[in-house]
A and B are shown apart, each in its own frame.
Chain A
Amino acid sequence: MEHAALHDITRDDSSLRRFLHGLPGVDQVGAEGRAAGLATRSIKTTAKAWAIDMAIRMVDLTTLEGADTPGKVRSLCAKAARPDPSDATVPAVAAVCVYPDLVETAVHALRGTPVGVASVATAFPSGRASLETKLHDVRDAVGAGATEIDMVIDRGAFLAGRYLQVFDEIVATKAACGDAHLKVILETGELATLDNVRRASWLALLAGGDFIKTSTGKVTPAATPPVALVMLEAVRDFAAATIGYGATATIGPGAAATIGPGRDLAGEIRGVKLAGGIRTSKEAVRYLVMVNEVAGDAWLDPRRFRFGASSLLNDLLLQRHKLATGNYDGPDYVTVD
């Protein structure tokens, strides 16, 4: 087990590699089994109602299509602020997520609401551009009023083992964000192994990402339960590792066990965002169970856990209605935006 202060870890490529490869391995079969086991939790009645409302509050309502227009974004914003026009008790979602050129439209449409504006940047989704172009992308979005930036890491550099390059890019992007929160998209579908997911998660957290995020939504597989499990373990262990962070801190999962369910929290609590492929309430509730049992209830908070999704919101509304009335609902009773 590697213990080292942050500046030692990131001194050069080889020390960063030593740290990341010194993290405990992830046994794929075991991780998949744990994720599947958590999925057998049966969430009913009051617990389900609570979970559905929490999930709605955690949604980053997303549109990232080449065909997006200001009109499309405005209607999405209306839906984000008031998901169910007929029911004022339905909470607003966390944020709307759009391309940089539509940030201004979204900011305007959401003025006076609690809904944030997130923008993908850094040559989303491939990340294949010069650093200067990526940072320009970020500054554009922040300048237009984005409160959250979803960046992509350079998966090519990561897979080639150029960890310091990835680290530096995240640091530079974080600096360009100013006050905006930074979500670091790992694109776990391209990282291929859970060991890589764990390493990339730690890399992003060390570099200052406020959130680690699974996917762009443009690559399959996107968010999966085992990937979510490993990322939640990373933020849990990172928080434990950064207790008393500063002069004497050691970084590494060595301190991992000191927080968790039922414990007092300390250390730096970073967030996790799952994006891509989450379409049903059942899946969302299962992920909340995972958040609850793996990271702990400090993460049951829209500031620390998000779902990047579009169609999920309507299914949450349908299930909410089912719980309230006892009858199954149909898609004609929720709005299509």
Chain B
Amino acid sequence: MPDSTSDSTSDSMPHSTSDSTSDRLRVRKTYKLYIAGAFPRSESGRSYPVRSATGELLAHAAQASRKDLRDAVLAARKAFASWSSTTAYNRGQVLYRVAEMLDGRRDQFVGEVSDAEGVSTKAAATQVDHAIDRWVYYAGWADKYAQVAGGTNPVAGPYFNFSLPEPTGVVGVLAPQDSSLLGLVSVLAPVVTTGNTAVVVTSEDRPLPAASLAEVLATSDLPGGVVNLLTGVTAELSPWLAGHRDVNAIDLTGVPNADRKALQIAAADNVKRVYAPGPVDWSADPGTSRLSAFVETKTVWHPIGV
């Protein structure tokens, strides 16, 4: 942790980072970005203070720059070929492994969510449990979505014709600002379930659960680069993400309505798919809309004859 925070430690620190009741001094974590499977600081050298809902300083998070974003897109593109051609069964196994890892660190996340969102431990625990189950939910979709969204088309002629969903490519995700973990998982998991790779800009004011989630992802057999998490200022990064021509789709969930139009205009430059939902209840059944938002339907014709 940078020196500048040393004066704000001690008994006022919230529980996830506070010193324990013993005299022992806790070893604190440096929160970093997650790009290409590694944990770099921002290339810009910047960080920004992250405060709890009650205004206490929690940590300094890395403040990603447009160059970090560029690196993250490169990493996501590089990871796409392999991740999208991994069997759906294996992708499901990996996502389930994420759930296992997250469940093992449940208490840590309860603390972080409680600090970040200013909710009770009980309410935070409910959110973490939902987040774990959400990974399980999407793990199950990995080898089923094509069975639901694809199928054969009985064309009038001697042709076998079928359609199947394929991943769109690199998806830029502007994560929800309010729900620091459950919201993040709810927007991230469906993107990678179908074989896309993701560049996520996390909640600006509540980025710490996301930074910790990166550690879970890094230990869950998820190949480096499939998910890249950037903490920082959403309004600073989102235009670069929306305008990046090697990003195939963008999710504007974490962007206020007022800012969405400009991003949609920028996204038109390479005909990005834009997903811009209204308000979301993160605890509700997620359905399949976030899966279908980031796939392309491919139809294949083949003659039938001896």
Indicate whether A and B are direct neighbours in the complex (CB within 8 Å): no
Chain A interface residues (CB < 8 Å from chain B): none
Chain B interface residues (CB < 8 Å from chain A): none
